[in-house]
Amino acid sequence: MAVNQKAVKVLNKVLEAGFTDEKAIAAMTMDDILSMQGITVGDITLINDLQKSIKSNKVISFLGGGAE
């Protein structure tokens, strides 16, 4: 399974915005997401997928491109 580079870039944006652990990322609101610099619609989709992956304990699958 190769690393999903788009997911890693979005994760870096989330971390740079100050959401540095699973609990904080899972609790992000749409306002939090939209306030991030340089966010795109594709990034919003990936953040949503990341939040779902965190809640289902499948972060490695998300980063590997295997998230649902």
Alpha helices (H) along 4-57:
5-16, 22-26, 30-34, 41-55
Domain annotation covers residue 56: yes
Quick: pLDDT tens for 15-61: 999 999 999 999 999 999 999 999 999 999 999 999 999 999 998 88
Quick: pLDDT tens for 16-26: 999 999 999 99
Domain annotation covers residue 10: yes
Domain annotation covers residue 42: yes
Domain annotation covers residue 21: yes
Domain annotation covers residue 55: yes
Domain annotation covers residue 68: no
Domain annotation covers residue 35: yes
Domain that holds residue 46: 5-63
pLDDT bracket for residue 67 (50, 70, 90): low
Nearby residues of 15 by Cβ (< 8 Å), 6 or more positions away: none
When divided into structural domains, the chain yields a total of 1
Domain annotation covers residue 34: yes
pTM across the whole model: 0.86
